[in-house]
Amino acid sequence: MVWQDAEPPMSPQHPDGHVFYRRMWHTYPTIVRGEGITLIDDTGRRYLDAAGGAIVVNAGHGVQSIARAIAEQAAQIAYVHAEKFTTPVLEEYAAALAEVIPLPGVRFFPLTTGSEANEGAIKLARQLQIIRGHPDRHLIIGRWRSYHGTTLATLAVGGRLAARERFRPMMPDMPHIEPPTCYRCPLGKVYPACGIACADLLEAAIMEHGPERVAAFIAEPVSGAALGAAVPPPEYWPRIRAICDRYGILLIADEVMCGFGRTGRWCAFEHFGFTPDILTMGKGLAGGVFPLAMLAVSGALVEELVAARQDIAHAGTFSHHPVGAAAGLATLRYLQEHDLVAAAAHKGALLGRMLHEALDDLPGVGDVRGLGLMWGVEFVADQATRAPFPARLGVAGRVFDAARELGLMLYPAQGAYDGASGDCVMIGPPAIITETEMQQVVALLAQAIRAAVPVQTGG
Ligand SMILES: Cc1ncc(COP(=O)(O)O)c(C=O)c1O
């Protein structure tokens, strides 16, 4: 079979109307209701939401207690300016969150998107370095094949080439290192004989750019869509922590996707035995019912600001939002009452076994990897060499489309190979998913892959 490049049709699917869609050539079903892990459109068609949207929905769709908490808060006091007031719900939420987020003396700065939280983390790192007497420390080292957000600064520290390219002249030039990815080691090594040489790349980058110029290192403890849920070897993060400490560099853990229970622990960093200085979270924090993200900082760093008589140099009209706090608190309580973080661990392990069993031997499947309820499947043109499909074939999008036709929603992503090519789909269902639903998800996924992934035929 000859595979055609994925090309958009000649005219947009939505020529009329006033919505500026994210994808003008995409046909959008109109969703009118959500129940559990199911979305229902205006024709009554049902979709299994196996990725919780963009790995967001953790408590499930249509949770009435969370909806009620938001409505009650909105009726009582919906908005105050965070520079002038606090609210009981915000104080209660931060106290409850502090019980599960293991940063010593943690303080929370609520925002609305992961991009904003990471932007704030970067700025805070710079601010702290100036306070510490290091005004030249302005570089933030990031990793290739990472994603930290859609703003110019977060794109600059991120490593998705396709997202960065056209904005490059407008971005600060930040150093990047290769990420840990054992499926396709950037150093051509094999674990464990590699000695975790990928972690030492951080030290090499610090030496290359000068420790006196580096403010922070930012990375995802478990990679998100940009690297299809790649999980680093256990020794990686403690080594990174030690390198940051050696050179006085702040460590920012971006847990916007992998945090807040998704990997089977409240924080993904708990799997790896290290503590970041600054933590960002988003996505599942309010289960998708409210746009909520968080900049979380250890108490010692806040003390440094206080000792310098400074406030954080970050803001936002909707920061510290009372309705966001109500949504976050209700989601946290729901996860606790239904033991959904432990569920993410044990259901995730089961889902992983099911995915391996069903997909490992399928043509075109290169790797199946993940942790907790965050899984990635990477497709390759050649299973022996692990060569990716050309980006223009749009294989991840094809699998997504085929799955949607079958009533299964995935989260497609390209770039796991070199920031542009390298096709993955992510599976990250709400933690309320049942074993039967997991079986359905895996069976439909296998069917979609068989239908959509180009297979090399021998001549
Ligand atoms: C790891 C990671 N960081 C940051 C972001 C940006 O979050 P947001 O889209 O809420 O701005 C994302 C979004 O996908 C993400 O996966």
CATH class as words, domain 31-59+341-452: alpha beta
Q: Hey, where are the domains in the chain?
A: 31-59+341-452, 65-337
Element at 352 (helix H, strand E): helix 340-359
Pocket test for ligand 1, best of 147, 157, 374, 426 (most atoms within 8 A of CB): 147
**Sequence-distant (≥ 6) Cβ neighbours of residue 317 within 8 angstroms:** 81
Across 358-382, average pLDDT: 97
Across 123-141, average pLDDT: 98
Buried-exposed string 347-366: b where 16+ CB fall within 10 A, e elsewhere: bbeebbebbeebbeebebbb
The single-letter DSSP state of residue 52 is I
Pocket test for ligand 1, best of 155, 252, 283, 295 (most atoms within 8 A of CB): 283
| pLDDT for residue 117 | 98
**pTM exceeds 0.95:** yes
**Of ligand 1's atoms, which has the minimum distance to the CA of residue 115?**
11
Question: Edge-to-edge, what's the strand order for the sheet holding 365-371?
Answer: 365-371, 374-379, 423-427, 411-414
- Cβ count near 433 (within 10 Å): 25
Query: Residue 78: is its pLDDT beyond 70?
Result: yes
Measured from the CB, is residue 255 less than 6 Å from ligand 1? no
Pocket test for ligand 1, best of 146, 255, 257 (most atoms within 8 A of CB): 257
| pLDDT for residue 459 | 42
pLDDT band for position 282 (cuts 50, 70, 90): very high
Across 280-293, average pLDDT: 97
List pLDDT tens digits, range 24-66: 888 889 999 999 999 999 999 999 999 999 999 999 999 999 9
Nearest CA to ligand 1 atom 7: 114
Measured from the CB, is residue 148 less than 6 Å from ligand 1? yes
pLDDT band for position 8 (cuts 50, 70, 90): low
Query: Residue 225: is its pLDDT beyond 50?
Result: yes
Query: Residue 202: is its pLDDT beyond 60?
Result: yes
CATH code, 65-337: 3.40.640.10
pLDDT band for position 3 (cuts 50, 70, 90): low
Instruction: Tell me how far the alpha carbon of residue 133 lies from the centroid of ligand 1, in angstroms.
Output: 31
Measured from the CB, is residue 282 less than 6 Å from ligand 1? yes
Question: What rounded mean pLDDT belongs to the chain?
Answer: 95
